[in-house]
């Protein structure tokens, strides 16, 4: 079985501050891990993915995430927030034997000027 927990339904940061969105997963086999972003009234688009290569994954728009097996975590970070980063962010996991991805409940990122 696989599952994803995103801590915090809302995260608020000031423009220029560090962004940290938390994701913990559960999987009985090595997982594929994903972060997706959703802007208002749009579909989701892939930010980055981990597929058992480098543990530090760089994505679009300056985001990156680090896979930590010992902590079963895949937190999303960005050194300096922009107003345009305000959106909903979803962590997802899929693992061997179940190609169907499981999504977290999402974290809404709010960026203050």
Partner 1 sequence: SQTIHQWPATLVQPVGSPLSLECTVEGTSNPNLYWYRQAAGRGLQLLFYSVGIGQISSEVPQNLSASRPQDRQFILSSKKLLLSDSGFYLCACQGSNEKLFFGSGTQLSVL
The neighbour count for residue 57, using CB atoms within 10 Å, is: 21
Does 101 engage in binding with partner 1 (CB under 8 A)?
Answer: yes
Q: How far apart are CA 65 and CA 48, in angstroms?
A: 8
Token pair listed for 43: 């579909």
- Residue 31 vs 78, nearer CB to partner 1: 31
Evaluate the CA torsion angle 69, 43, 39, 11 in order and state its sign: negative
- Residue 96 CB coordination number (10 Å): 12
Q: Closest CB to partner 1 among 22 and 49?
A: 49
34 binds partner 1 (CB under 8 A): yes
- Smallest gap, in angstroms, from Cβ of residue 90 to partner 1? 7
Instruction: For residue 64, state whether it binds partner 1 (rule: CB under 8 A).
Output: no
- Does position 94 bind partner 1 by CB under 8 A? yes
Residues at the interface with partner 1 (CB under 8 A): 32, 34, 36, 41-46, 49, 51, 90, 92, 94, 99-101, 103-106
């Amino acid at each position: 079985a696989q599952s994803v927990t995103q801590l915090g339904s809302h995260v608020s940061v000031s423009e220029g501050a560090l962004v940290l969105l938390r994701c913990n997963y559960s999987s009985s086999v090595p997982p594929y891990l994903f972060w997706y972003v959703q802007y208002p009234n749009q579909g989701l688009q892939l930010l980055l993915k981990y597929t058992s290569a480098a543990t530090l994954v760089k994505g679009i728009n300056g985001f990156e995430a680090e896979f930590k097996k010992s902590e079963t975590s895949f937190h999303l970070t960005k050194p300096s927030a922009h107003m345009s980063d305000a959106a909903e962010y979803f962590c997802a996991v899929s693992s061997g034997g179940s190609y169907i991805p499981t999504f977290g409940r999402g974290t809404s990122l709010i960026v203050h000027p």
